[in-house]
Structures are given as structure tokens and as C-alpha cells.
């Protein structure tokens, strides 16, 4: 296989991505380019990335839930909508033109970075909700989930923005809830890619173990330092992802 030599490097990249993704999202910014550089075709890179990212988002979700930062049962309906949206997005990926989305995404990410950098009063304390829970779950969650299945980069940042700006969540709480919905959207995209046979299982599972361990480290760091770390790292991740997309 073309990635026999860089196998260990890809596993290490997955660990680093797990740490960063558990704190601020954007782990795919590391793993997808690494998989492409490792010799995988674009469709296989996306499918394998969905497999390994499942482990990271699951690990972060479990870690946050054990510390009481997210209640899993009340969020299951929203997670199901995120899963369904991602399945639809992945099915549409082969038939919809994505050039416009690729061109628009860097500017959306820069806007998110500016919001988190300049918005006063962002902390781990909840604020006033601007949208009803039903509207949030029925409209925004499947929309962002569909984006994850269709394209992917920056999904965690979009969930974070929605939780903080519309649901009124504190930064740490938003991060914890983002991981569960991102796990569901990852699983939806993974299911579709698995059905069409676009996954390298050995590599994806090895990277998944590394993601799982990295996400535990990242979630622990995030819970220790809260918004003081999550907020600036989220800004950096959004800017870095935007620059990479503009460069490519």
C-alpha cells in the first residue's frame, strides 16, 4: 500500500489532531492533508478520516460527560438529526458542485475567528438564549451535520459558534456539546463512505486509537483551563484552516 512508510507519521498526526480537535475543533485540518500526502486518493482520504475521527469525537464526548459537562440522554434527538444530516450531505457530495463552498468557507472561518476574538464577555458562564431549543435542534443541527457529510472542514467551529452565539452556552459547555453532535455527524459520513467502500480500515483504525488517546488529553486540558485556552485556540484553528484552504 502507498502509505506503508508514513504509517507511523500518520498515526502521530492523528494523535495531535485528537488533542486539538477535543479543545477547539479542526482536527481534520491535520489528518486529511496528511492522508493525501500519504498517498490516498481524495475519496479514500475523506472516508478514512471519518473512521479515525469517530474515535476522537467519541473519546472527547465520554471524557466531558464523565466530568458532568454534557448530559448525553437529552441530546440524543439532536445527535440523531446531526447523523441524518451528515448521511444526506455525504450522499450529495458526489453530485453537487463544491467549488463555491470551497471558495466561501475560508471567509466564514475568518468571520468565526473574529467573532471569538473580539466578542466581549465570552466565558464559561451561560448567557441568554437567542433561539428555542426546538429551532436549534430541527434546523441548525441537521444543517451543520449535512455540511460535515458534504464537505467537513470547520464543522466543530460551526457547532461552537451556534452553541455560543444562539444557544447561549458558555465556551466550555459549548465545546463539550459540540463533541457529541460532531461524533454523530462523523458517524453519518462514515456510514455512507463505508457503504461505498472508500475506507482503508487498517490505517483508519490505527489512527483512530491515536485519536482516542489524543482526545482524552485534549479534553482534560480544556476542562482544566476552560475559555482561557479554548477561545484563543479556536481563533488560531479557524485562521489556520482558512489560510490552508485559501492556499490550496
Cβ contacts of 61-66, under 8 Å, gap ≥ 24? 61/176, 61/179, 61/180, 61/183, 63/22, 63/215, 63/216, 63/219, 63/220, 63/223, 64/175, 64/176, 64/179, 64/219, 64/223, 65/176, 65/180
Q: Where is pLDDT greater, at 200 or 34?
A: 200
Mean pLDDT computed over 49-78? 91
Cell reading at 174: 459549548
Is 41 a residue whose pLDDT tops 90? no
Angle separating helix axes 155-165 and 7-24, nearest 10 degrees = 10
**169-183: per-residue pLDDT in tens?**
888 898 899 999 999
Is 97 a residue whose pLDDT tops 80? no
Give the percent of the chain with pLDDT over 90: 34
Q: Residues 81, 102, 163, CA angle at the centre, nearest 5°? A: 40
Mean pLDDT computed over 43-51? 86
Beta strands per DSSP E along the chain: none
**134-185: per-residue pLDDT in tens?**
999 999 999 999 988 877 777 888 898 899 889 888 888 988 999 999 999 9
Contact in structure between 233 and 23 (CB atoms under 8 Å): yes
Mean pLDDT (the chain, rounded) = 85
Amino acid at each position: 500500500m502507498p502509505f506503508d512508510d508514513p504509517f507511523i507519521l500518520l498515526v502521530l498526526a492523528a494523535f495531535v489532531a485528537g488533542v486539538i480537535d477535543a479543545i477547539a475543533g479542526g482536527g481534520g485540518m491535520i489528518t486529511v492533508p496528511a492522508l493525501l500526502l500519504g498517498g490516498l486518493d481524495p475519496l479514500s482520504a475523506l472516508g478514512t478520516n471519518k473512521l479515525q475521527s469517530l474515535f476522537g469525537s467519541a473519546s472527547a464526548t465520554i471524557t466531558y460527560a464523565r466530568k458532568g459537562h454534557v448530559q448525553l440522554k437529552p441530546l440524543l434527538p439532536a445527535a440523531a438529526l446531526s447523523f441524518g444530516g451528515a448521511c444526506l450531505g455525504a450522499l450529495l457530495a458526489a453530485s453537487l458542485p463544491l467549488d463555491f463552498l470551497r471558495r466561501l468557507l475560508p471567509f466564514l472561518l475568518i468571520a468565526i475567528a473574529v467573532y471569538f476574538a473580539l466578542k466581549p464577555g465570552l466565558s464559561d458562564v451561560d448567557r441568554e438564549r437567542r433561539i428555542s431549543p426546538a429551532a436549534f435542534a430541527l434546523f441548525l443541527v441537521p444543517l451543520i451535520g449535512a455540511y460535515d457529510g458534504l464537505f467537513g472542514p470547520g464543522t466543530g467551529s460551526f457547532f461552537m459558534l451556534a452553541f455560543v452565539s444562539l444557544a447561549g452556552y458558555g465556551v466550555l459547555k459549548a465545546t463539550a456539546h459540540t463533541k457529541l453532535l460532531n461524533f454523530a455527524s462523523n458517524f453519518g459520513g462514515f456510514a455512507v463512505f463505508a457503504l461505498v467502500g472508500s475506507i482503508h480500515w487498517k490505517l483508519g483504525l490505527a489512527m483512530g486509537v491515536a485519536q482516542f488517546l489524543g482526545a482524552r488529553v485534549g479534553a482534560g486540558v480544556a476542562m482544566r483551563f476552560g475559555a482561557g485556552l479554548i477561545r484563543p485556540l479556536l481563533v488560531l484553528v479557524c485562521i489556520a484552516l482558512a489560510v490552508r484552504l485559501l492556499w490550496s
